[in-house]
Amino acid sequence: MLARLRREFIAITMLLVGLVLAGVLGISLLSNVLTQRDHTAAVLDRALAGKIDDAELGDATGEQGADVMLAITIDLYWDGTTGLRSNSLLTIPDDTLQDVLQEVFTSSDGQGESRDYPISWKRSEHPWGWRVALVDTYSRDSALRSQAVNSLVIFVVSMGALFVVAYLLSGWALRPVERAWEQQRRFVSDASHELKTPLAVILANTEILESDGSVPEGALRWVRSTSEEAVHMKGLVEDLLTLARADEQEAAGGRSPGSLQTVDLSALVSGCALEFDAVAFERGCSIECDLVEGVRVTGDPEQLRRVVRTLLDNATKYADQGTPVRVTLVRDGRRAVLTVNNRGETIAPKDLEHLFDRFYRTDDARERQSSGGFGLGLAIAKSLVESMGGQIRARSTDGEGTTFEVAL
């Protein structure tokens, strides 16, 4: 949980700052692009107006910066003659000029950018013919590309630095949460251990009283009731201890490799399904298995057995009368995928996302149908599966029923 919170903190921080930084750099680049285009348009307009050589140092028109761009005007007279003027010693090869002029006069627009050359153009019609202004945009385009590359480098470097800062800050920000989580885990573990002793005494005493023939029958039913509730509470304490141990293992970085071994999951699931045949019959349903033979996984056999039993118990408990509980096991690449499906009341999406939360019950109807559970079975199954490096999820639809899927 803490690792997920830390990842979310880092992701949210980087997303927000990254959006702001990308916006600033993007607006700066866009502003420069528009400014350069305005400069280019100003050069073309001055050239078409015949002012190609008028710019002077210190010119108050504010356009002299734009006129640094190299410009050429070509006058095409109706009698077939041409004239060329330039604001520098710039020349243009004849083949390039012919290609650009072909683009100019085949275009329906009065101005544009050459497809093949770094040249912007604009044309105007006069009584004596056509005037075409050409501006070299190589320096402009190169500067814009350089700015784009620099902006990208700044963004990447800034995001890398931000990741380091966010990672450090997340550890500091989550320290109180980590401390509270550790105190809660320790309390659950210590309280569960402390409760085991008085529960053992209560169960021993009730067994003695039940076997004592001198206890009146009227009082004996209270003894039996006390014994049943003590057994019920013992199960809760054991579940809490299981979760506390899973939390300890998660805090320590997972299970030690020595506690894991290669398990024949096909045989394990088959044995658990056989055990639940009678339970399913009593609950008015049946179990159908479709298991690929020889599927082996790395895990703890006792914990795997508990996971499978939990899913089978849950499926048979909520299956409709006369419907089958389908259990499948297949290979999916390097993973083994176990699914347990039952046809029963559909679980609402709002409940489905909390199904593996501790002590969570979907609704009052399902609670009344339960046989004394505490809402910890699926939470324990999730902890055990994840401690073995696997994943568990659930889905529920009207057409398919409810399906639990475990991937190891």
Angstrom CA distances, 175 to 2, 4, 147, 186, 349, stand at 10, 14, 41, 16, 33
Distance of CA 379 to CAs 226, 239, 252, 376, Å? 27, 10, 19, 5
Q: What mean pLDDT value characterizes the chain?
A: 83
Q: Can you state the percent helix, strand and coil of the chain, rounding each to 5?
A: 55, 20, 25
Rounded distance between C-alpha atoms, residue 285 and residue 317, angstroms? 9
pLDDT of 257 > 60? The answer is: no
For 341-365, letters b (16+ CB in 10 Å) and e give bbbbbebeeebbeebbebeeebeee
pLDDT at 346: 85
Q: In this model, does residue 200 exceed pLDDT 80?
A: yes
pLDDT number for residue 18: 94
What is the identity of the amino acid at 255? Answer: R
Provide the whole-model pTM.
0.53
Average confidence (pLDDT) over 140-153: 93
Instruction: Catalogue all structural domains in the chain, each as residue range(s) with its CATH number.
Output: 1-172 (no CATH), 175-251 (1.10.287.130), 257-407 (3.30.565.10)
Tell me the two tokens of residue 150. 């620099």
Higher pLDDT, 191 or 108: 108
- Angle (CA) 183-184-185 rounded to 5° is 95
- Rounded to an integer, the average pLDDT of 309-321 is 90
Closest C-alpha among 251, 244, 265 to residue 332: 265
Closest by CA position to 114, among listed 129, 97, 130? 97
Asked if 384 contacts 306 with a C-beta cutoff of 8 angstroms, the reply is yes
Confidence of residue 62 (pLDDT cuts 50, 70, 90): very low
Q: How confident is the model at residue 66 (pLDDT cuts 50, 70, 90)?
A: very low
How far is it, in rounded angstroms, from Cα 218 to Cα 132? 115
Angle between helix 175-211 and 2-48 (nearest 10): 150
Q: How many angstroms separate the CA atoms of 116 and 104, rounded?
A: 12
Instruction: Check residues 80 and 110 and name the one with the higher pLDDT.
Output: 110
* Contact between 251 and 185 (Cβ < 8 Å): yes
Average pLDDT of the residues in 73-94: 80
SS3 category, 71: strand
Question: Residue 283 and residue 313: Cα distance in Å, rounded?
Answer: 10
C-alpha span between 118 and 101 (Å, rounded)? 14
| CA 69 centroid distance within chain | 49
Closest CA to 235 of 190, 192, 189, 185: 192
Helix, coil or strand: residue 407: strand
**By C-alpha distance, which of 354, 337, 343 is closest to 405?**
337
What confidence score (pLDDT) does residue 253 get?
A: 57
Q: Please report the pLDDT score of residue 183 as a whole number.
A: 76
Report the pLDDT value the prediction gives residue 68, as an integer from 0 to 100. Answer: 56
Bridge-based pairing state of the strands 324-332 and 286-291:
parallel
Q: Which of 124, 183, 152, 145 is nearest to 21 (CA)?
A: 152
Q: How much is the pLDDT for 325?
A: 93
Distance separating alpha carbons of residues 308 and 315, to the nearest angstrom: 11
Is the distance from CB of 66 to CB of 39 less than 8 angstroms?
Answer: yes
